[in-house]
Structure 1
């Protein structure tokens, strides 16, 4: 009513004063201008928006003027080969509207020029690029080894009305190595009664150098019995086929990252016998002439061979025909059929079983009579002048570990890590030191540390690898406790599993898989490293003597490997489960301060590490699967990779956490008393873990004894005002550790 009195009345019609408006002349009352709008004139029918505030045509005049939202916050990325998962927090200021959505801009950047171009239409966005309502998106079909910048912009109903600069948060990522895209274009060539020739184009996205193609073919409706041909060219001829039969062909390419997926099916039919016979009949005169000429030429060549003149060229240029007349010369020249490296290899399958496998496998350098031969076969020699050592970053078993730069002729400069062999080494130490390079040089995978080369012809002797900015995974996690999302942690675990799958496929058993032996770069890509101590771990501080001699890392090692030194990919899978536990607990020491003998005893009795705090149930179940006593029941690394991929594609599956009450062994009976442990009072315990500030709060709320403290849950801590995640974790882990020590600690399987 007071507002009504302030507005004037002319000729019986109410006129709104400045600051008020009447949208319709038929309205009986004036309305105050909504927030962020004004009017300086009488009798206004609408209010004008303040500077930097806007109103859409569809917005009612009674609605407040609004503005574009601020930029999204805390954007993080997870790179998986050529896919990138982005996640962010909504903007702090939504602009006064509820219709906020997100737009993703993708730019492909050239590091050498600092120029970025639009990504183009080949990139796919899941679920979409424009109009995103949720705060996450996945980009797939990116290029390998490419720098990308993603700009995440929050928009609302008035964003297109604002002339101001876009408000966005950007994320820079570098994609990893990836398998090539499928072959899409296959053409048939010459077709005969018993053969079909094919040619094709290189995949649209090779993602590296194509090493070879694999051609799979089978008679139509006979898919269980198929043949595979390998070719280094983009053409091949399949022979030994049946006349007048339809054959199905599929082709896939391989790079250092592995095989791409097979192409779609292409069907081609061989010529019937009758047609082929007719064609052959027309060729008889030509063939007869050809045979006559061939016989004459062959006689001349054999006469030449018997004179021995062709072999006078020497080993470097000797013709293979010399073998006919002078087989001894060819033996001395090292010529044999096995050395020809044919362009095509054939592998025959029947009902899915390989008859002639051609899989690349790991070669143990210790089997070489001369270790130097292994080093130079698997590792590239680098001139010491190409290396610049900048600073010492650590100490290894054999000497210092440094960071520096590598500049090879014709290539761009690279940051590298350099392991040096200390002065005064023995020949055995030199052999063991270079043994790691002989192993590492056989591997080529984005989740395995990459060997650049070795320096053996000058001192100091060096091993040069790619540089990993964030160092070892366990130390990195401890420094960044609680700083990553679950998806980021799963991305790290996926990378480690992919590297281990590659090693397993190569037939290599790591034996010392642990977070301290995983390196992590600035893009949070994890790479398996430390191959030098994979045989006998004599100087490892985490190792313990076994009854059979030698040292092994007890806390990470499978029971059968401890008891019988039975190391396999299955024992590596056990170790991977421990690494999972380390990652989710941010570098916590497995089994805490239990002795190695206590760990061995507890594991043999069926106890397992309890779930880390706030651990997704799906991840803990995978840990328990890795810790199956029967090694044949543990998941293979390809199964682990597939499982983690499913979790990454479906983040909601990670929201179910392990029940806090079940984190500790159900064998912890209610009568178990913590008061009989090392701490005589609650205050002494809290002071010991540097949480003494909470002593008074615990006492005031009835937690005056260690027995009472034993029942504390995470919810209780929050109620007591312990809100810092790091403090909650420290207290809960300390309680859990004490309980574990009382029952030899773990969750029984």
Structure 2
């Protein structure tokens, strides 16, 4: 057979072991065309999918759906994601002004636009005076943490100008906001007015001429004086010896510091003061004195020696004259101490140049002189009384407009002295004005003036729309954020820092003596102590014109009448407790004597419900038995500023609403949580050292009145204990507390 025939035979008759050829694959079925409203994504599947919400396929066979009008997608959105739109504006925006800083807080928008990437932008505009519009805030304004692309719902705006109107526009944006060119931006607007603030730090201190024992210093005014600079304070100490320093004052931006050691390195810091108080100290600057006498100082020393010789000769002549005159008259007037000539005497008070201190009006021989010096007389024709807003010990408290020539009309509060007063009552009435007129601070109630040349005699102060802080908080229970409450506390602490720097001790710091204006700015008031502070007859510790407010007063002030700024700090701790409990009465219905005894036994008020742990720790620090261990007011202001700048530090609560708290906690055992957890009545009474009452408490039916669950029943339990005392007294039972 030929090769060709063999090949043909093998193809026609394959052997059993030879492979058979595979049939070709069937052709794929033709793809169906997606109908209207459906699309086929080549990257996802071969089947048709319905268009996601707010999108549509306007023709058959679409591979993607297009967004409806007003809805958008970005490139990174998957095809099956719904089209989205920009969010609505933020809600419930509030502001809290703190001198030249503003804390802004808001809630998420009602409509997020269908996206989860909502962010917030803040636009700051400064309102120009005289209706000239507004301009964007400068680069000096700081946003903490930032002003654009915020994920959280709060921001601190710092370094604003004092006494300036600002407008803040809050905008919510998401991933498609930039695509919505025809979508009008929706803002929520907040208008605020900043307060007076302390000046910014001095940036640079320059060294001038240096001598063996002196250094000449000069510095520039702070970048942000925030008012008129009243004086500068220079702090200096020898290097490595900062525990012992010296402070001197100057009204100029230069000074020669003398009395230094030769060839020694000194650290210098400068800070400025306005009527709002001191700013922060500058950073530390190191300067060294000269190790030798310069030519100038040698000439000066020679001059001093020559002067000394001359004075010695004069002194010899004076002594000789004294001896001679003594023989004739037997008397000679004492020579004035030259150091006294450096002091300025004012109505019997020693006043040092550049140092402003509080002067007690009672030290004036004629109290009317203090009124004349510290207050401004207002003509009664400039005042209109419109309505009565309260009553005081001396007369009615009214409100109305004050129209001073050349100034805009303002609303004021008017205290009047009732008819038929004695001269002593008139002095007591105007005494508070003499005190108030010495203060100038945004967190101290401002005295506008007095009316003494006509009747009725009046004291005119700024009008505080929201009245006393305790009443205001009770009316608005649980209506404020923690940041707003901390802002109120910060304002009070700032005012008390100013009073402390002035050398004034308030003695009656309490929420009832704090006034609140329409911007929620808290201001310290009531400087007279001329009324009865406690109607309770058990408050037997009296001072001039009134009784000590036991519940707010430090132990050393009650026991020894030792009133200092440290005792004001104790009272401030109680004010903090009042604010965080929305105006609760400290120690509830406990008698004053029981309060004194409890404090002496180291018990302290518990943390209010939902009170941040950081604030309760500060309260406990204010209630230290050793007054030297309590914080200073400037330290309190500093701490509150840090808390406001870092709101997350306020999230940890000392005593949340669903937990049980003791009536009082022992100061030595406080670990930041005053919650007692789940306790029996006996355990609770033991914890407050009243375990001896357990049997009577359980057997007398009191438990049934109070309820098994102790949470939220603190005041009822106290009332029940008081009822037991009355019952025991009536049955002649003797119990030693």
- TM-score range for the pair, normalised by the shorter chain length: 0.7 to 0.9
| Residue 125 (structure 1) aligns with | 143
Instruction: Say which SS state the counterpart of residue 401 (structure 1) adopts.
Output: strand
Of residues 139, 142, 153 in structure 1, which corresponds to 2:157?
A: 139
The answer to whether the Cα contact below 8 Å between 1:674 and 1:706 also exists between their aligned partners in 2 is no
Instruction: Say which SS state the counterpart of residue 60 (structure 2) adopts.
Output: coil
| Structure 1 alignment gaps of length 5 or more | 1-9, 288-327, 347-355, 681-704, 714-730, 745-749
Cα 1:206–1:677 change in 2 (3 A) is farther
Q: What is the CA distance between 1:490 and its match in structure 2?
A: 1.8
| Residue 662 (structure 2) aligns with | 663
| Residue 540 (structure 2) aligns with | 546
Cα 1:618–1:539 change in 2 (3 A) is closer
- Counting only pairs closer than 5 Å after superposition, residues 283-682 of structure 1 correspond to structure 2 as 338=343, 359-533=355-529, 537-538=531-532, 540-541=534-535, 544-546=538-540, 551-659=547-655, 660-664=659-663, 667-669=684-686
Superposed CA deviations along residues 73-94 of structure 1, whole A, max 9, x for unmatched, are 2222232222222222222221
Q: What is the CA distance between 1:481 and its match in structure 2?
A: 0.4
Superposed CA deviations along residues 596-633 of structure 1, whole A, max 9, x for unmatched, are 34434444444433332222233333333333444444
Cα 1:385–1:94 change in 2 (3 A) is same
The answer to whether the Cα contact below 8 Å between 2:211 and 2:297 also exists between their aligned partners in 1 is no
| Residue 191 (structure 2) aligns with | 172
Instruction: Say which SS state the counterpart of residue 14 (structure 1) adopts.
Output: coil
Superposed CA deviations along residues 100-125 of structure 1, whole A, max 9, x for unmatched, are 11111112224652733211111111
| Residue 230 (structure 1) aligns with | 249
The answer to whether the Cα contact below 8 Å between 2:251 and 2:354 also exists between their aligned partners in 1 is no
Cα 1:635–1:264 change in 2 (3 A) is closer
Superposed CA deviations along residues 344-374 of structure 1, whole A, max 9, x for unmatched, are x99xxxxxxxxx9975332211121101011
Check if 1:96 corresponds to 2:114: yes
Cα 1:248–1:423 change in 2 (3 A) is same
| Residue 276 (structure 2) aligns with | 257
| Residue 84 (structure 1) aligns with | 102
Cα 1:125–1:431 change in 2 (3 A) is same
Q: Distance in 2 between matches of 1:733 and 1:274?
A: 75
The answer to whether the Cα contact below 8 Å between 2:101 and 2:160 also exists between their aligned partners in 1 is yes
The answer to whether the Cα contact below 8 Å between 1:390 and 1:404 also exists between their aligned partners in 2 is yes
Q: Distance in 1 between matches of 2:345 and 2:595?
A: 54
Q: Distance in 2 between matches of 1:270 and 1:417?
A: 57
| Structure 2 alignment gaps of length 5 or more | 1-27, 304-332, 665-682, 726-737
Cα 1:539–1:91 change in 2 (3 A) is closer
Q: Distance in 2 between matches of 1:473 and 1:276?
A: 66
Q: Distance in 1 between matches of 2:135 and 2:228?
A: 24
Q: What is the CA distance between 1:136 and its match in structure 2?
A: 1.6
Q: What is the CA distance between 1:443 and its match in structure 2?
A: 1.8
Check if 1:53 corresponds to 2:94: no
Q: Distance in 2 between matches of 1:265 and 1:596?
A: 49
| Residue 64 (structure 1) aligns with | 82
TM normalised by structure 2 equals 0.76
| Residue 670 (structure 2) aligns with | none
Cα 1:273–1:611 change in 2 (3 A) is closer
| Residue 711 (structure 1) aligns with | 709
Superposed CA deviations along residues 565-610 of structure 1, whole A, max 9, x for unmatched, are 3333333233222222211111112232333344344444444333
Check if 1:181 corresponds to 2:175: no
Check if 1:207 corresponds to 2:226: yes
Alignment length (residue pairs): 631
Superposed CA deviations along residues 458-517 of structure 1, whole A, max 9, x for unmatched, are 222111112211110011001100101122212212222222232233332222221111
Superposed CA deviations along residues 261-299 of structure 1, whole A, max 9, x for unmatched, are 233455667788697479989xx9xx9xxxxxxxxxxxx
Superposed CA deviations along residues 182-218 of structure 1, whole A, max 9, x for unmatched, are 2335566667787665544322211011112234456
TM normalised by structure 1 equals 0.75
Cα 1:337–1:266 change in 2 (3 A) is closer
The answer to whether the Cα contact below 8 Å between 1:675 and 1:706 also exists between their aligned partners in 2 is no
Of residues 37, 53, 61 in structure 1, which corresponds to 2:55?
A: 37
Cα 1:674–1:154 change in 2 (3 A) is farther
- Kindly name which structure, 1 or 2, has the bigger radius of gyration based on alpha carbons: 2
Q: Distance in 2 between matches of 1:617 and 1:739?
A: 30
| Residue 678 (structure 2) aligns with | none
Cα 1:272–1:381 change in 2 (3 A) is same
The answer to whether the Cα contact below 8 Å between 1:177 and 1:207 also exists between their aligned partners in 2 is yes
Superposed CA deviations along residues 626-648 of structure 1, whole A, max 9, x for unmatched, are 33444444443333333333333
Cα 1:635–1:390 change in 2 (3 A) is same
